[in-house]
Amino acid sequence: MIEMRRALLVTLFVTFFVACGSLEGPRALAPTPSAAAAPRLPQPIAQPITRVGAGGQVAWLWSFSPDRKRSLVGIGPKSDVVAQLDDATLAGATAFWRSAEGDTLFIARPNEIATYSAFNGKPQRSYPNPAAAIADTAVSRNGRWLAILSAGPDPQLHLIDLSSGSVQMTPVIHDPNAKLPGLSGQTAAALWGLVIFASDSQSLYTLTDWGGPARITAFTLAAGKLTQTNTAVDGQSGRRLPSCGGPAAAASVSVRAQALVIFCHVDGAVWFFDLTALGNVIVVQADQPNPFWLSPIFTPDGQLLYLHQWPAFGDKMQVVDLASRKLLGPVPTPTKLGDPGPFSWRVPMAYAGGTASTVPISPDGLKLYSATDDGVIVLRVPDLRPLVKLAPGFHVNEVWVSGNGRTLFATAGDLKSVLVINEDGSGTPSVITVSNTFGGFIASERG
């Protein structure tokens, strides 16, 4: 499973990565050194609430038992388990993910990709699985397209029209000698890759071989036909692209910044690929003391990227203004109500974490939710001023926000309980406890 594989890779690679890698080639921008040089952050642009379907309000988590039996559990806003897909249903499953609007779950098996309702877990439709091994998947925001990046030695980009079931595919160039640091038994079939849709559901990108030589490729879906429009690879025509020395990266297309933004979980570097000339790249180097300590949170208006350091390793926050490519912070994540946000004006002043399974930000993009050992702190975007504390007294691990933003679901520190919290602070949080251990949320956007 894609989510389980990410968690496993973090565990396997922690013994290998004892220090962050250095950047060479592209221009690296250091953290802003002083308040005088730091720009003001742009005010957020409130986004319309579009994920209003019943399925988009149900939190789904994957879990496992001591005897390795797996299950997917759906928890509704009324604090009830609305559905559960057990180990028999997951037999042979190699990956699972969720649609952009949140209404559909996808489960990949060797010969099929089956869809299930996120509202009640009932099976809906199945499609032939065109990929022998899946490196990454993405669902377009309009819900029409499912993109699958298959693994090597000859990777393909497969595009399924979810309305008709038709499939298009095109080769994706892969270097059989690509670097895969820390991976034992390296073979030509191994592939580190991402596929990313833009918000227009017409443009998509692949990032492959990011361990080096990295390659970025652009595609278009004009008139519904998949066509490659541009590609850039490290070392070609004198281009120097950065590399990421580990198995985890996150990406987003920022229309405001006119850039494809990549975050490397290993060294904390943020890459900006110009959308019109993919070979033009700028690197902003965030402060990350050890690999996997930062979780990326892209705001839905495409203006900011928050980098939240895992609380267990010193709860801190940094923010990148995507348009200006400027970094502010790190500063302690605020926890005291009434304090001004650390970004109100300008900057005032070898363990591994993991990759977060959610992006804990409200769907309108105006609030960010910080999990703490004493509840959930609601922070105002962009300055991160604390607004309210929800579920005080509970040790919170991760937060998932319902599609309409009215309900928060939080895994507790014991990884066996889920808190259901009204976002407006009304009522008392409900606690649902299961016998299995939760591995994480199944979210359309992952940190």
The edge-to-edge listing of strands for the beta sheet with 304-309 is 294-298, 304-309, 316-321, 326-332
Report, as an integer, the average pLDDT of 176-192. Answer: 77
Helices (H), 158-299: none
φ, ψ (nearest 5 deg) of residue 129 = -85, 115
pLDDT at 184 over 80: no
pLDDT digits (tens, 9 = 90+) for 208-264: 999 999 999 999 999 999 999 999 999 887 789 999 999 999 999 999 999 999 999
Stated pTM of the model: 0.90
Torsion region of 165: left, alpha or beta (phi above 0 gives left; psi -120 to 50 gives alpha): left
- DSSP of 8-64: HHHHHHTTT--SPPPP-SSEEEPPP--GGGPPPPPPP-PPP----SGGGGSEEEEEE
- Look at the domain 2-357 and name its fold: Methylamine Dehydrogenase; Chain H (2.130.10)
pLDDT digit string, tens, across residues 162-180: 999 999 999 999 999 999 9
Give pLDDT, residue 12: 36
Cα gap 74→442, rounded to integer Å: 10
Place of tokens 């693994």: 151
Q: Provide the residue ranges of all domains of the chain, joining segments of one domain with +.
A: 2-357
pLDDT in tens, 336-387: 888 888 887 543 334 456 788 899 999 999 999 999 999 999 999 999 999 9
CB 133 within 8 Å of CB 150 = yes
Q: 392 has which bridge partners?
A: none
